[in-house]
Amino acid sequence: MISARDMMIGGMATAPVTRAPAAALSERILLAVLFVSVLASSVAFIEPSPHDGLMGLLAVTALIAGVRFERILVLPLLLLLIFNIGGLLSLLNVPTEEMTVQYTATSIYLAVDALLYACLLAKNTMPRLTVISNAYVLTAVIAALCGIAGYFSLFPGAYDQLTLYGRAQGLFKDPNVYGPFLIWPALIVIERMVARRISLRDILVVGIIMVGLLLSFSRGAWFHFAVSGAVMLALTFVTAPSPKGRMRVFILTGLGLAILVMAVVVLLSVDSIGTMFQERAHLLNSYDVGDGGRFRLQELGLDALLLSPNGMGPFEFARIHGLQQHNVYLQAFIVYGWIGGMTYIMLMLSTLWVGFRTAMVRTPWQPYVITALATFLGEAVEGFVIDSDHWRHFFLLLGVIWGLFAATTRAQQQLAQ
């Protein structure tokens, strides 16, 4: 439960952190660049993506605006540094492969991204967090609309460009990345409706995102949403400020589940959706089992990591066995070596730990911590059946959780003075 001291943090000590006026021109420019950078994150069908270039601009703008590295972020910095050192060492196994260097450079870039988001949110927290969440919800709606347009072929060429194997992918290259991308913005809006207010706009936004998620036909994304949604609702219930608030969460959760079930039933009545759903909804499909199946490859991946303390290097497992092992934890050991693999697990566990600690403290950004943590936990679980070490939104969540942990710690320190 939330202590009286935590409630004081929400009401008193956070004021200097969250209500600092963003009057300076540099801060207004920073917020504008931040909005555009996050808005571009759903355009991921080309490499490098527009989002990648904008993140460089965001880093420069952040320096000009006076954003500095916070000492409390030393732990994620060290873990991400050691993780990528493991990746660099593994390149010694594949020194002549050009794509492996690009792969490792992308890993380093994403680590820098996560730290940049964390530093941004450590101070002037609510204005910057509001910009991030608004931009992410908007770009998720755009991505979902693109996926819907592609699936139903609403304009010439839409099906070919915006779907893959009959599954919506929006502006991504893979439905299995597109689906998880939609989950945090969906939870942001659902939490707002369950805990505070319901608006027609939010109902429309959630409806669009949920249809887009369904049409991805990604079993991992569906399970991810179920796990993340359950965690979010549980934390929202536990942290509700009053018995009345908890009753609201309980009633609206039941009502929302009923509406979700009815909406899915209606959508499944569409022949194309119902047929694809029946095909994808099996717990195990042909590509999961057998000699070339996902789980057989994971067994081979376990053997490979035990025999390769320094890692095999990027793409080497797929070159030998024909396909990736589809498990981000095996991926961490196979590509980044034992050093990288152990560090990745430590990074995941420490992020979940600080996330849960931060979620239990009453602050203005508590709802965002809850939804980010719930999404991150769902993504951690989904990592057992997919490689997510290069998902941009994963590193955004990582940075958000650590940044809000830093902001909460700062508020607590101010209260103690």
Which residue range(s) make up the domain with 150?
A: 4-416
Helix (H) or strand (E) holding 163: strand 163-164
How far is it, in rounded angstroms, from Cα 341 to Cα 335?
8
**DSSP label at 387?**
-
Alpha-carbon distance values, 83 to 109, 318, 332, 347, 395 (Å) = 13, 21, 9, 9, 14
Nearest Cα residue to 44 out of 208, 162, 220, 166: 162
pLDDT in tens, 38-58: 999 999 888 888 888 899 999
Alpha-carbon distance values, 93 to 100, 324, 389 (Å) = 10, 18, 20
- Give every CB contact of residue 255 below 8 A, 6+ residues apart in sequence: none
Cis omega (within 30 of 0) for bond into 21: no
pLDDT in tens, 387-411: 898 999 999 999 999 999 999 999 8
pLDDT of residue 230: 96
pLDDT in tens, 107-125: 999 999 999 999 999 999 9
The domain total for the chain is 1
- Give every CB contact of residue 15 below 8 A, 6+ residues apart in sequence: none
Q: What tokens appear for 86 in the block?
A: 């493991």
Helical spans, DSSP H, in 123-182: 125-151, 158-162, 175-181
State whether residue 302 is helix, strand or coil.
helix
Residue with tokens 């949604």: 229
Alpha-carbon distance values, 131 to 74, 168, 262 (Å) = 25, 27, 33
CB 29 within 8 A of CB 53: no
Reported confidence tier of residue 246, pLDDT bands at 50, 70, 90:
very high
Q: What is the DSSP string of 234-264?
A: HHHHHT-SSHHHHHHHHHHHHHHHHHHHHHH
The percent helix, strand, coil of the chain (3-state, each to 5) is 75, 0, 25
pLDDT in tens, 360-379: 999 999 999 999 999 999 99
User: Around Cβ 186, how many Cβ atoms within 10 Å?
Assistant: 25
State whether residue 335 is helix, strand or coil.
helix
User: Around Cβ 247, how many Cβ atoms within 10 Å?
Assistant: 12
Q: What tokens appear for 108 in the block?
A: 């380093």
pLDDT of residue 287: 56
pLDDT of residue 292: 57
pLDDT of residue 326: 83
Question: Would you say residue 11 has pLDDT above 50?
Answer: no
pLDDT of residue 279: 78
- Give every CB contact of residue 286 below 8 A, 6+ residues apart in sequence: 293
Question: Would you say residue 272 has pLDDT above 90?
Answer: no
pLDDT of residue 9: 53
Question: Would you say residue 286 has pLDDT above 90?
Answer: no
pLDDT of residue 14: 41
pLDDT of residue 19: 42
Residue with tokens 């994808």: 280
How far is it, in rounded angstroms, from Cα 319 to Cα 329?
19
- Decide: pTM greater than 0.95: no
Q: What tokens appear for 135 in the block?
A: 């931009």
Q: What tokens appear for 370 in the block?
A: 């809850």
Nearest Cα residue to 62 out of 139, 130, 118, 136: 118
Reported confidence tier of residue 35, pLDDT bands at 50, 70, 90:
very high
pLDDT in tens, 141-183: 999 999 999 999 999 889 989 999 899 999 999 999 999 999 9
Alpha-carbon distance values, 194 to 117, 183, 202, 230, 234 (Å) = 27, 16, 11, 13, 12
Alpha-carbon distance values, 330 to 117, 307, 366, 384 (Å) = 27, 13, 33, 8
pLDDT in tens, 289-344: 555 566 777 777 777 778 888 888 888 887 777 777 788 999 999 999 999 999 99
| Alpha-carbon torsion, ordered 349, 352, 356, 361, to 10 deg | 110
The identity of residue 330, as a single letter, is L
CB 193 within 8 A of CB 259: no
Question: Would you say residue 6 has pLDDT above 70?
Answer: no
| Alpha-carbon torsion, ordered 38, 142, 220, 76, to 10 deg | 0
